[in-house]
Amino acid sequence: MKLWLRCFARLYPAAWRARYGREFEALLDDLRPSWRDLWDIIYGAFLMQLSTPAAYWKLGAVTAVLGAILATGWSFTLPRRYVSTVVMRMDPQPTDSAFHQLSSIQQEVLSRRSLSELIQRPGLDLYRDERKGHPLEDIIQGMRSRDIRIQALTTFPGRDSIAFRIEFAHSDPAKAQAVAAALADKFTSAPGLEVLDRANLPTSAVSPNPLRIAIFGLAAGFALGLTIAFFRRLFRDRAWARAPYFRYALACGALLAIVSGFASYAIADRYVSTAVLRLYPPDPARLNQLQQEVFSRSNLARIIQRPQLDLYRRQRQHDPLEDIVEQMRRDISVHSAGGPLPAFTVQFEYPDRFKSQAVVRELVTSFIQANFAHPGGKMVLEVLDPASLPAAPAFPNRLTFVALGLAAGIPIGLLIAFIRRSPPSDPSLPARMSASPV
Amino acid sequence: MSDPGILVLSSLVEGDKHGYAIMVDIEQFAGLRLGPGTLYGAITRLEQRGWIEPVPSDDDRRQPYTLTAAGRRHLAAEMLTLERVVRTAARRLKQA
């Protein structure tokens, strides 16, 4: 045991050992050691290391290694994801109607009916465990927004064609390949579409990447270590840092920041798709009339109830359609785009990013149709930017949630400190104390 | 009453002692056994604050320490505070 104690005593900083090393070893020789002493030496060495000028880097290095070890271990508990890819091409010279048709087919492929059929197809039987605990609608939404990716590729040099890639990610490589192939089959119903690269059988998982996660753990651990060392040095031997007001404010602020940060994950993500249009020559009155038509009850009700979109499905089960239309009007926004062009943006916010994009497309089409049918003469309505496919949710902003939690926690902490420091009023206490014989 | 610094100062009031002697003394008068890491953490801090200092000794390994005047004043101040707390607690216990 004494040998162990001597070994761990070497964990103390070199400068400390130069000053106290001999007498510390003499103490170890004199005492009857126990396992508690071993721990006491390790902890004492750790605290002593933190008191050296290089404590920042030492603590950062220790927490970085711990972070890397924990992150690597955690990465092995994550499910593996394999991605199968199909490359398709539209050829030759695509026309506007072909693009429109492709867009319709994409909506159809990603529709509830189509994905539901794929999920429940006996040969595939996707998400079997998740389907036991979640409604099919949630499974479909997860499949659409997380596992399927359709990306346009650059046009082949010298060819008027458009190519795109369909990817499907799954924990089973064979199922990933089968689903990617099935999605490609659905697209081939469009004229002029051909498969360039068939769905591959993925041999290695794309995620989790243990190396990347370990590096992330290393960096996070290092940052945490530096932060702890910084605050330790800041607060050490400072009277204000020991003041209850400061401690309560800091503790409550940090606690509420963490809680609100985690709580933000319970809120459904909302995506915003945007399109930019231009009415030329500028005519605010005409634009106002177009908006009234596009955002009319009948047009929005038509979009809401369109089978491929099936918007606000849950709310429609208990709320009248009139309320749903009002809700949709609140989720739509039209703003001037600014700049030299008389342009304006149309935005729609929704929990499903594909539906958000599809709705903005519908609204743009409605604007064009309303402009075309307008009796007040022909004006040019140009689509400067088509409906975007939002990549990241616009809400909730997790950083804002954390900042709000921190801001709310600090005054609460101060209030708690004030209440705890105020003794219960007892008017007789001074008299009793002075009368006491002790 | 478990602050290692106060215990070490209280032990050194009686006379100069080296690490092991301090540890044994504290165990006898306080019934508390300080681990070697805790003891030398306290000794390091107390010496840095100028409350104790090493004294020459024939034994080149066992280094005795003595209480400085500043250490004595600090201990006295701490004892006054402790005494007030103990007396107040005792009085309140009687009244309860």
CATH number of the domain at A176, please.
3.30.70
Residue A110 resides in a domain: yes
Domain boundary among A152, A171, A197: A197
Higher pLDDT, A110 or A324: A324
Residue A378 resides in a domain: yes
* Interface mutation target, options B25, B33, B40, B65, chain A, most CBs of A under 10 Å: B40
Is there a contact between A63 and A225 (Cβ–Cβ < 8 Å)? yes
pTM value is: 0.47
| Residue A2 in tokens | 């004494």
Residue A427 resides in a domain: no
Is there a contact between A52 and A58 (Cβ–Cβ < 8 Å)? yes
Could you tell me the pLDDT band of residue A237, with boundaries at 50, 70 and 90? low
Examine the domain organization and report whether A279 and A191 are in the same domain: no
pLDDT digits (tens, 9 = 90+) for A264-303: 888 888 899 988 888 877 778 888 888 999 999 999 999 9
Residue in chain B closest to A6 (alpha carbons) equals: B36
Could you tell me the pLDDT band of residue A72, with boundaries at 50, 70 and 90? very high
A287: domain range? 271-385
Interface contact A384, partner B, CB < 8 A: no
Higher pLDDT, A21 or A154: A21
Given a cut of 50, whether residue A438 has pLDDT beyond it is: no
Examine the domain organization and report whether A275 and A381 are in the same domain: yes
Domain boundary among A169, A197, A225: A197
Residue A413 resides in a domain: no
CB contact under 8 A, A37 and B35: yes
In whole numbers, what is the pLDDT of chain A averaged over residues? 84
DSSP, collapsed to helix, strand or coil, labels residue A191 as coil
| Residue A154 in tokens | 């650059």
In this prediction the ipTM stands at 0.90
The total of structural domains in chain A comes to: 2
CB contact under 8 A, A28 and B36: yes
Q: How many helices (H) and strands (E) does chain A have?
A: 19, 8
B contacts of A25 (beta carbons < 8 Å): 61
CA contacts within 13 A on the Cβ side of A173: 8
What domains lie within chain B, and their CATH numbers? 4-95 (1.10.10.10)
Q: Which of A49-53, A179-183, A205-209 has the lowest mean pLDDT?
A: A49-53
pLDDT of res. A92: 60
| Residue A281 in tokens | 């020559």
Look up the CATH number of the domain holding residue A296.
3.30.70.1130
Helix (H) / strand (E) element for A127: namely: none
Residue A51 resides in a domain: no
CB contact under 8 A, B37 and A20: no
Interface contact A48, partner B, CB < 8 A: yes
CB contact under 8 A, A28 and B35: no
pLDDT of res. A137: 75
pLDDT digits (tens, 9 = 90+) for B13-65: 999 999 999 999 999 999 999 999 999 999 999 999 999 999 998 888 899 99
Interface contact A21, partner B, CB < 8 A: no
Residue of B19, B37, B38 lying closest to A23 (CB–CB): B19
pLDDT digits (tens, 9 = 90+) for A323-379: 999 999 999 999 876 555 567 889 999 998 888 988 999 999 999 888 888 777 667
pLDDT of res. A100: 67
pLDDT of res. A267: 85
Domain boundary among A152, A181, A197: A197
Given a cut of 80, whether residue A135 has pLDDT beyond it is: no
DSSP, collapsed to helix, strand or coil, labels residue A368 as helix
Residue A182 resides in a domain: yes
Residue in chain A closest to B21 (alpha carbons) equals: A27
Residue A297 resides in a domain: yes
A contacts of B60 (beta carbons < 8 Å): 22
| Residues contacting residue B4 through CB under 8 Å, at least 6 positions apart | B34, B38, B39, B41, B42
DSSP, collapsed to helix, strand or coil, labels residue B76 as helix
Sign (positive or negative) of CA dihedral A132, A138, A143, A146: negative
DSSP, collapsed to helix, strand or coil, labels residue A316 as helix
CB contact under 8 A, A438 and B39: no
Residue A159 resides in a domain: yes
CB contact under 8 A, A24 and B41: no
| Average pLDDT score over residue span A190-204 | 85
